[in-house]
Amino acid sequence: MEKILYKIAESEDDLEEYFHLRHEVFIKEQKVFSETDIDEYDTNPVHEVIHIIAVKESDGTMVGGVRCYKKEGNTWFGGRLSAAPGHRSGRVGADLVKFAVKTIKTTNCKTFLAYVQPQNVRFFIRLGWSKVGDIETYQGQPHQLMEANLESDEDKD
């Protein structure tokens, strides 16, 4: 079984590869965005943002990623969770979410939220997240706001 490493993106090459993966998933495949999904949280240095990536240990190929950004106060959001084809039925997505929660716990975060596509709500509930409110329109499509359980020790390895 291929070993996957989870880490914070450290270089411009890491970011470029992660943005490419997001483009493939959110523009070409899911058509959530028309031209680009890169926004002010990715490009404006004023925002606190952490890009987390999953790479194969054997050759460094990126197989997934997620970004976390501080919105206001001590509230952070996770988003742009993506896994490369061939890595969607395994542990990559779950391990990215767990690593994101673990990473966010090292900040002053009090609330960690994510807008989740309805088909992924059960996945997040299994990871200890809870629904917040009803399904709403986000990025022009239905999404459920979810909140991580920051009190849980489940994300510790």
Domains, in order of start, for the chain: 4-147 (3.40.630.30)
Model confidence, pTM? 0.89
Residues 6 or more apart from 140 whose CB is under 8 A from it?
32
Which residue, among 63, 57, 58, 68, has the nearest Cα to 82 in the 3D structure?
63
Within the chain, residue ranges assigned H as helices are 12-22, 40-43, 92-104, 121-126
Tens of pLDDT, residue by residue over 81-98, are: 999 988 887 799 999 999
Tens of pLDDT, residue by residue over 99-113, are: 999 999 999 899 999
